[in-house]
Structure 1
Amino acid sequence: MAYSNPVVINRADPWIYKHVDGYYYFIATHPDYQVIELRRAKKINELKQTKEIKIIWYAHDSGNESQLIWAPELHFIANKWYVYFAASDDPIIRDADHHHRMFVLENTDTDPFKGEWVDRGQIKTHQESFSLDGTVFQLKNDLYYCWAQSEPTIPGNSNLYLAKMSNPWTLKGKILTLSIPTLPWECQGFMVNEGPAAIIRNGKVILSYSASATDENYAMGLIWASDSDDLLDGYSWHKSDVPVFKSSEASHQFGPGHNSFTISEDGTTDLLVYHARPEKNQSGDPLANPNRHTRVQAFKWGEDGLPIFGEPVKD
């Protein structure tokens, strides 16, 4: 299957989930940062023009869920729908008090375009600080939550953390500091680890993540562990020394990252879903530039059981 990139314009932090009903469900950061929009189609290439689009949630008038609605993800857990997202209480100030926290919505209807989306509130972690990009994955009988958060005692903007969940909105037990941005390629512009996404293949739990500033320096890394190891033991994990997916001058795609994974229409090929910019950021805050577009491409697997993403394909 050939994908017509970009598959959706002006949508960053994309998440595509293929459900058992045959639909691809698409959710991403909306450029006005004030709504959560859900769309679906039977084919990925139809997501751009689909008529099945619905705003499922609006930012609050005030409070911690009123500004900068970022990076929603759609998950189907125990026959219920969940949307994880980050939000703030101020559109400009980004400090310890006025910055993002993580929240979750729940819908018990079998169809996420129907039913009521109930706000289950903030996902509480080990401390109150800047946090975002929560994702979940299931392994055996356990539900895990992985996210990005700042730590006052660790230099930089955000690290990756991992914990188990007692339900889809509550963490339990030990919290593992999974990754800290210390490698040179993770510290360009900002010291960042964020946007984790999980794929379980070849006896491994594999987490991709993104690092550095959100301009052309943005790139993806990889962390992995055996699916038989204790995932809350830091010694179980391995980390790539170099980026596994980065800007390409040849294809004119810059800052690829904040990815998710899905599968092809025929169910045979794993797909990388990500955003990238068609040019380098010219000036100002790159987050104010809406030219991050959703893209999809197939990838291969190496003999070591890890993904080989190649480089971003051309438009």
Structure 2
Amino acid sequence: MQFKQIFSDQLDHCYAIMRLKAQGHDFIIVASEENQPCYAYDLNNNYQRITVWPDVGGTMTMVAIPGTLNFLATQRFYPGFNSARCRIVKETFNGNGWDQSVIGDFPYIHRFDIIPQNQGHNFWYVGCSIANSKKNTDDWSDPGKVWVGEYDDSQEKIYDLHSLSTRITKNHGYRRMKNYSLITGAEGIYKLTYPDNHQDWVLTQLSSFETSDIAAADINHDGQNEYLAIEGFHGTNLRIYDTNFKTLAQSSTVTPFGHAIWGGKIGDREYFLFGWRAGHQGLELIEDSNLSVQLIAEHVGPSNVTVYEKNGQLYLLSANREANEVAIYAISD
């Protein structure tokens, strides 16, 4: 697999990324985790840059509202992890850019999601706080909560917001799957099952190894997902699980400050992507469950990565945080 960088732009501490495609428009969105901008790049117009917001930033998560060019995002997740002033905003596309409204304050919310229901504008809301309160950045004595409720997009409000009983320390990872989500923290990996006519929200522990982030892909070509997990908070090691969360492999080399993680199809098979933000600050393609890797780039320190397709061509979008660079790589066999 070959990766050729075709685009670069500077964005200080770039972090959160998203593809936003609807109504004939096609953008990638990249936001900073500091008091810096969020940019949209027009994929239909030679990556023309639009400023979504000029400052505030502190963005950990962005979530598209299906069928629209509108999205929700966290802001003010700073300084460090002492983010009591974190909020969620809605960005509404006006034809040329985005108009902002504030959904509300959500202290310490690191990851969140809205999951479509069957009733029009209604979504399930899931918000994972990295802590419940803090005396200082290094205080982890009050573990985070998993907050759930309903988001009404027409009202731009979250209703019936309440926390589940299980507390998770240092939540960092979240991954929406089919009909459930995976949530990670110091206590391990959890499966969050959404409510239906028969049961309420259910949070089930799948693994007890401290986990920072997780991705899923059928890397063994057996028709079932395997899982790539970054172990430890911003951890230095990787673990691959089978579909039943039994360990298949563990990394033997140290990858300090593991952060960027993605799983999915590239060409005719599935892979994992992984990047770390210290040491060599590498970005890698993981080819199999034995953790065979191909180095894509060094000294970039990616925070988040994703793969997208445009006009039959595959691309890798990487927020190269430690290089303060928005990077796009064309992918070929």
Taking structure 2 as the reference length, what is the TM-score of the superposition?
0.54
Distance (Å, rounded) in 2 between the aligned partners of 1:274 and 1:227: 32
1:142-221 equivalences in 2 (<5 Å):
142-149=122-129, 150-152=131-133, 155-156=141-142, 158-167=144-153, 169-177=156-164, 179-181=166-168, 191-200=169-178, 204-209=179-184, 211=185, 221=189
User: Post-superposition shift, 1:84?
Assistant: 1.0
Structure 1 position 58, deviation (Å):
1.4
In 1: Cα distance, 2:42 partner to 2:150 partner: 30
Residues 131, 28 of structure 1: alpha-carbon distance in 2 compared, 3 angstrom cutoff: same
Deviation (angstroms), 1:164? 1.3
Is this contact kept in 1: 2:259–2:302, CA < 8 A?
Answer: no
What one-letter code is carried by the residue in structure 1 that aligns with 2:92? N
Question: Does structure 1 residue 277 correspond to structure 2 residue 244?
Answer: no
- Between Structure 1 and Structure 2, whose CA radius of gyration is higher? 2
Q: In the alignment, what sits opposite 2:100?
A: 119
Q: Percent identity?
A: 6
Please state how far the C-alpha of 1:36 moved relative to its aligned partner.
0.9
- State the 1:73 CA deviation: 1.0
1:193 to partner: Cα distance: 0.8
Closer, same or farther in 2 for the Cα pair 1:253/1:264, shift >3 Å? same
Q: Which runs of 5+ in 2 are unaligned?
A: 135-139, 212-227, 231-236, 239-250, 282-298, 309-328
Which residue number in structure 1 is paired with residue 38 of structure 2? Answer: 36
Q: Which structure 1 segments of 5+ residues have no match? A: 43-49, 60-65, 182-190, 213-218, 282-288, 299-314
Of 39, 44, 48, 1:52 maps to: 48
Aligned-residue Cα RMSD (Å) equals: 4.7
Residues 81-112 of structure 1, C-alpha deviations (whole Å, 9 max, x = no match): 11312216xx75976xx733222133244xxx
Distance in structure 2 (CA, Å) of the matches to 1:270 and 1:25: 24
Is this contact kept in 2: 1:159–1:192, CA < 8 A? no
What does residue 233 of structure 1 align with?
201
TM norm structure 1: 0.57
Q: Which amino acid is the alignment partner of residue 72 of structure 2?
A: V
Contact 2:33 2:59 in 1 (8 A): no
Quote the Cα distance in structure 1 between the aligned partners of 2:4 and 2:167: 35
Answer 1 or 2: higher relative contact order, Cα 8 Å, separation at least 6.
1
Residue aligning to 1:185: none
Q: How far apart are the structure 2 equivalents of 1:162 and 1:99?
A: 19
SS of aligned partner of 1:71:
coil
Pick one of 61, 85, 105 that aligns with 1:100: 85
Residue 74 of structure 2 is matched in structure 1 by: 85
- 1:17 corresponds to which residue? 19
More strand by share: 2
Q: 1:165 to 1:296 in 2, by over 3 A?
A: closer
Q: Provide the aligned length of Structure 1 versus Structure 2.
A: 245
Q: Deviations over 1:220-253 (max 9, x none)?
A: 8452427757674336x44432345123565764
**Distance between the aligned counterparts of 1:84 and 1:93, measured in 2?**
18
